[in-house]
Amino acid sequence: MKITVERYHGLGNDYLVYDPNNNELKLNKENAAMLCNRNMGLGSDGILEGPFIGENHMSLRIWNPDGSIAEKSGNGVRIFAKYLKDAGYVQKKSYKLVTDGGLVEITYLNEDGSRLRVSMGKLSFWSDEVPVTGERREVINEDMVFGRTLYPVTCVSVGNPHCVIPMREISKPLVCKIGGYSEVARYFPERINTEIMKVTDQNHIEIETFERGAGYTMATGTGACAAAGVAYKLGLTGNKVIVNMPGGELMVEIDENWNVYMTGEVFYVAKIKLSNEFTEKLRIL
């Protein structure tokens, strides 16, 4: 059994693309986690498995590095779209792709498909759609306790759940400290992604992210959309902002119906052929 994967990154958020049409191994929680392991595997922030080809659509499955399934990933969707163009699955400038977190529409902005605009769906602040425990309400500026500290939290779904905390200063150690508690907090029955956000001006914000099932990441597409949506909802920015992250920046736009659009770049790194020994180890997991 021969296995090949492709490595890409979006703003330092790196993914492996596993094409089931070219490989025989069936991915599961254990072997996906092994592939993502940075010491004993290839190392990755996740795996993009697909395309799964239906009669009128293509879809993908997104694996977190702990082997759990993610509903949606902004960087992952852009990377997968670049792969589809590289591999010849897509020739059109625009098309729709099915994710577990809903339908996304992708538009290539240059010839090689490295710069893309993605329609990420509709933002929702409603507790039952994020989800957040308690009565149905929009979860905006609610006091929540993470690790014995009280924070003003706004929660939003971008097809996956996020809690966003505006702060005067942000850092990697701080988001890791908060995220270690917030990811598994009692408020969030399906766990949650956490962004701490600093508003620079009406058109720029900065974020640091702790992802559910992945931990600290240098950049996040859905997190950028979530934070931009929260900043706009709270009246801190306009509806079009540049989101700065340690890995780079994304442009995020929000329309009058709270549909969110993300524009950014991705980079192709390598095609990797796994050894027979490692392939066998994955097969028996």
CATH number at residue 279: 3.10.310.10
Q: What's the pLDDT score for residue 255?
A: 97
Cα–Cα distance for residue pair 228/238, rounded to 1 Å: 9
Is 39 annotated in some ligand binding site?
Answer: no
Q: Do 252 and 273 fall within a single domain?
A: no
Residue 179: count of CB within 10 angstroms of its CB = 25
Distances (CA, A) of 233 to 138, 225, 230: 11, 12, 5
Tens digits of residue pLDDT in 243-260: 999 999 999 999 999 999
Q: Do 93 and 41 fall within a single domain?
A: yes
Q: Which regions of the chain does DSSP assign to beta strands (E)?
A: 4-10, 13-18, 47-53, 58-63, 69-70, 94-99, 102-108, 115-122, 142-146, 149-157, 161-166, 193-201, 204-211, 215-217, 240-245, 248-254, 259-265, 267-273
Q: What's the pLDDT score for residue 180?
A: 97
Is 110 annotated in some ligand binding site?
Answer: no
Is 211 annotated in some ligand binding site?
Answer: yes
Q: Do 35 and 81 fall within a single domain?
A: yes
Cα–Cα distance for residue pair 26/11, rounded to 1 Å: 29
| Spans of the chain below 70 pLDDT | none
Q: What's the pLDDT score for residue 121?
A: 93
Classify 260 as helix, strand or coil: strand
Q: What's the pLDDT score for residue 56?
A: 83
Where does residue 274 rank: exposed (0-12), middle (13-18), buried (19+ CB within 10 A)?
Answer: buried
Range of the domain at 216: 122-259
Is 279 annotated in some ligand binding site?
Answer: no
> Which DSSP category does 48 fall into?
E
Residue 131: count of CB within 10 angstroms of its CB = 17
Q: Do 98 and 136 fall within a single domain?
A: no
Q: Do 255 and 126 fall within a single domain?
A: yes
User: What's the structural domain count of the chain?
Assistant: 2
Cα–Cα distance for residue pair 235/154, rounded to 1 Å: 13
Is 212 annotated in some ligand binding site?
Answer: yes
Return the closest-CA partner of residue 193 out of 156, 148, 168.
156
Q: What's the pLDDT score for residue 54?
A: 87
Q: Do 73 and 172 fall within a single domain?
A: no
Q: Do 56 and 142 fall within a single domain?
A: no
Q: Is the peptide bond before 189 cis (omega within 30 degrees of 0)?
A: no
Return the closest-CA partner of residue 160 out of 230, 69, 67.
69
Residue 86: count of CB within 10 angstroms of its CB = 17
Q: Do 83 and 169 fall within a single domain?
A: no
